[in-house]
Amino acid sequence: MGELIHPEAPLSILLAPLDTQVAAMSEHVELCHDSGRVPSKIDPPVGALYEDEDHCQGSGPKLCVAFVGMGSQHPAMGRRLAERYPPFLASIKENDRILMEVYGLPSLLDRTGLFIPGAECSLNASGAWSLNDVILSFAYLQISLWDLIRNLGFKANFAVGTSIGEIVMGYAAGHYDRSTTIGIAAAFATTMSEVEGNGATIFVAVSPRQAQFIIDDVLLQAGVTSGLWVSAFHSPHAVAIAGTHPLINALFAFLNNSKTFSDTFAMRLPQVGCAFHTPLMEPIEVPFKAALENLDLDRKSDTGTREVRIMSTVDSTWLNRPLNSDYFWDNVLRPTKFGDIVQKLVDDEGENIIILEIAAHSAMKTCVEQCGARYVGLIQRPAPDSESLVDGSNECIQLLEAVQHLYDAGFRSELPPGVFEQALELLRAGK
């Protein structure tokens, strides 16, 4: 990969001022409006989100956006939003422009057909893609979903990320700008491809203590001392285990034959193409850090909000060190501790905390609730029996439902009522 550097000229801010947003939205509403649509019960009525304006003042609810980096990618992700919500598609295209013009890499959109309305996606439906495509597509989607949330006028108090989700976490908190975010994703994508296929990952519904017991037993039976690790602590009752392919296969056999764990839910994650968050990643340390050191990781975002506090799933506490090459290397090598930090947020904020998951598919609801927090998801993978992954997607409905859930939890958009209603109309038109 070539040097990851910034152009001398600053990049323009994607999101226009509110008055220009109004004009743009008004233009698109007329084009997208479906006057024959049957109103949905989850449609917030005009002005409804502005009642009780002081509801969330003082000690009211606080929003934590969680950028989850689990393997939930699929060809239809973001497609309906790109079709019906022009600011989302504009954000996606800006990500791709930066990838090409700033970092000299091929267009993800042209190469794969992801996101672009009417384009045929060349990636398989299972989501078992190359690490390069997984990482870049996750960064594109999460950046643009976060831009959409801000475009709707919602603000976050806290941000967390798991695995590659920490890339966009820093963008949301204003630690670096969009161009740097794409550069970090490109560094991850290029260097992690060098260890692609080095192992596998499974999700297991057991406690961390039980997981370690299982690992120890499998290693003992195999006559080895290493090769399996807990790679993610999702909740008190759910972990991910990663390791070499033979030992992952042996672990499945152990679970199937164990009287104690035979009924335990376990699922291989075919979308995760390596043993991420384990010592098996050590061979890429030098090129990984070298790629990141070519970036200005302290290039602050003009559109971010630095008052958003970060809790680190690497350190299991509030972020108290720079998001530099050493930090992101720890992200690659060390296990994630999502459950620990959600529990800490609950301990610190009580029932006021709401976790909003930003990912290709809402996957962490059970884990969040096991940690005692309230949960809101954004978009879902289409049902497997849909005739078409693209046609079966109804992300606009899902976004409206998420807005309603945020409203019900006490959050209010900071946009003027007319601007906010124009934005909602774009989503309603996509139903």
Give the mean model confidence (pLDDT) for residues 392-397.
73
Burial of 321 (0-12, 13-18, 19+ CB in 10 A): exposed
Contact yes or no for 117/83 (Cβ under 8 A): yes
At 1 the pLDDT is: 37
- Which of 172-176, 265-269, 304-308 has the lowest average pLDDT? 304-308
What is the total residue count of the chain?
Answer: 431
- Which of 1-5, 149-153, 302-306 has the lowest average pLDDT? 1-5
The DSSP symbol for 48 reads G
Contact yes or no for 162/70 (Cβ under 8 A): yes
Shared fold status for 63-195+283-424 and 200-272: no
- In Å, how far are 86, 154, 421, 423, 427 from 148, measured between CA atoms? 10, 9, 14, 10, 11
Q: What is the pTM of this model?
A: 0.83
Contact yes or no for 135/129 (Cβ under 8 A): no
Q: Rounded to an integer, what distance in angstroms lies between the CA atom of residue 115 and that of residue 108?
A: 10
At 428 the pLDDT is: 82
Class of domain 63-195+283-424: alpha beta
Q: Where are the beta strands (DSSP E) in 173-247?
A: 200-204, 228-235, 238-243
Q: Rounded to an integer, what distance in angstroms lies between the CA atom of residue 206 and that of residue 36?
A: 49
At 217 the pLDDT is: 96
Percent of the chain with pLDDT over 70: 81
pLDDT tens for 419-431 read 888 888 878 876 5
Q: HSE of 193 in the Cβ direction (CA atoms, 13 Å)? A: 14
At 385 the pLDDT is: 57
Which span out of 291-295, 304-308, 333-337 was modeled with the highest average pLDDT? 333-337
Give the mean model confidence (pLDDT) for residues 32-49.
35
| Sequence ranges of the domains in the chain | 63-195+283-424, 200-272
Give the mean model confidence (pLDDT) for residues 341-355.
91
Average pLDDT, the chain: 82
Helix axes 395-408, 417-429, angle to 10 degrees: 140
**Three-class SS of 195-207:** HCCCCEEEEECCC
CATH of domain 200-272: 3.30.70.250
Six-digit token string for 306: 């630095």
- Which of 52-56, 114-118, 175-179 has the lowest average pLDDT? 52-56
pLDDT tens for 163-201 read 999 999 999 999 999 999 999 999 999 999 999 889 999
